[in-house]
Amino acid sequence: MRRTVVVLTGLCLIVVAVACGERRQPSSAPSAVPSASSERPAAGDHRLTLKHDGLDRTYLLHAPPGYDPNRSSALVIALHFYPAAGPSMQELAGLDDKADRDNVLVAYPDGQGGGFNALICCGSQDDVGFLNALTDHLVRTWRADPNRVFLTGISNGGDMSFRMAVEGAGRYAAIGVVSGGYSGSRTTSESYLPKNPVSVITFIGGQDRYASTFQAGMRTWQQRLNCRPGPRASGVAGVTRTLASCADGSEVSVYTIDEMGHSWPGAKSGQLAAPAAGVTATDLMWEFFAAHPRRA
């Protein structure tokens, strides 16, 4: 099952997928992109490469104005939808403003061919190895705090966040998934679960054609981790939230937005933005991340 789109005269026509958007490449990328060996950690936006599996993998790194290479910072790795690239996620999620306020690093990796090799698509590249290597590099070179490394993503990037929660070997403290899910052939195995606690906050649109798949995936995740759900809460009309505490010490927070489709709730600009969703995913996941550093 593959998520993709066709763009025709400004209209997104859904073919087999739910992630609508065109692939965007940075318009002002320098002709020579610094490699890992020539990086100089400093505040600002950096277009960088990391060689992995014989490829020069590219990513954007936003270091806040208060960044100090001699002091550790939390890190958020943000994964785009398909087809797209890092700048699309940077525009959509609005993470940089949060990072500037709280002195957090934000990385926006580019998928190969516009996507990541996640749970149901896209491609065959070693994105698990790439993201693990990128995380290790940012911890080592940019002084990211290994206990405060978080992943977020939408659609294909959300699916990839779930895959990394399982296959990231304990690198990630929590994930924030928007319009993505724990589904696909890998997840049919009861052993396909994190070996270390990974907390999850996720946002599901009630009008998303894959809403039932995403909801079923969260039920399976919680059953396998022996999570005990609390009462359902509804603070905004059309929005419900469930919170569960799991046996390994992780937590699961699920927001369902009844009238939203395959979008990022509260986003003000960018493809897949849903500014009138009633909640803002970026604000809620940022608070969730701050409250969930890595557990032993």
Measured from the Cβ of residue 234, the count of other Cβ atoms closer than 10 Å reads 11
Nearest CA among 89, 107, 88 for reference residue 99: 107
CA dist 38 and 42 (Å) reads: 13
CA dist 252 and 200 (Å) reads: 5
Condensed to tens digits (0 to 9), the pLDDT of residues 272-292 reads: 999 999 999 999 999 999 999
Q: State the average pLDDT over residues 14-31.
A: 34
CA dist 296 and 293 (Å) reads: 10
- Residue 292, token pair as written in the block: 């969930």
Please, what is the average pLDDT of the chain?
Answer: 89
Domain 40-290 fold is: Rossmann fold (3.40.50)
CA dist 92 and 20 (Å) reads: 13
Q: State the average pLDDT over residues 245-271.
A: 97
Q: State the average pLDDT over residues 129-148.
A: 98
pLDDT for 95 beyond 80: yes
pLDDT for 3 beyond 70: no
pLDDT tier at 296, thresholds 50, 70, 90: low
pLDDT of residue 233: 83
pLDDT of residue 33: 62
Nearest CA among 146, 174, 135 for reference residue 292: 174
Q: State the average pLDDT over residues 74-103.
A: 98
pLDDT tier at 16, thresholds 50, 70, 90: very low
pLDDT tier at 35, thresholds 50, 70, 90: low
pLDDT tier at 232, thresholds 50, 70, 90: confident
Handedness of CA 213, 216, 222, 224 (dihedral sign): negative
Q: pTM for this structure?
A: 0.89
Nearest CA among 163, 147, 250 for reference residue 199: 250
β-strands 144-154, 105-109 pairing: unpaired
pLDDT of residue 25: 31
- Residue 253, token pair as written in the block: 């927070």
pLDDT of residue 34: 65
Do the Cβ atoms of 177 and 229 come closer than 8 Å? no
Q: State the average pLDDT over residues 3-24.
A: 33
Three-state SS annotation for the chain: CCCCEEEECCEEEECCCCCCCCCCCCCCCCCCCCCHHHCCCCCEEEEEEEEECCEEEEEEEEECCCCCCCCCEEEEEEECCCCCCHHHHHHHHCHHHHHHHHCCEEEEECCECCECCCCCCCCCCCHHHHHHHHHHHHHHHCCEEEEEEEEEEECHHHHHHHHHHHHCCCCCCEEEEECCCCCCHHHHCCCCCCCCCCEEEEEEECCCCCHHHHHHHHHHHHHHCCCEECCCEEEECCEEEEEEECCCCCEEEEEEECCCCCCEECCCCCCCEECCCCCCHHHHHHHHHHCCCCCC
Q: Can you give the residue ranges of every domain in the chain?
A: 40-290
pLDDT for 17 beyond 50: no
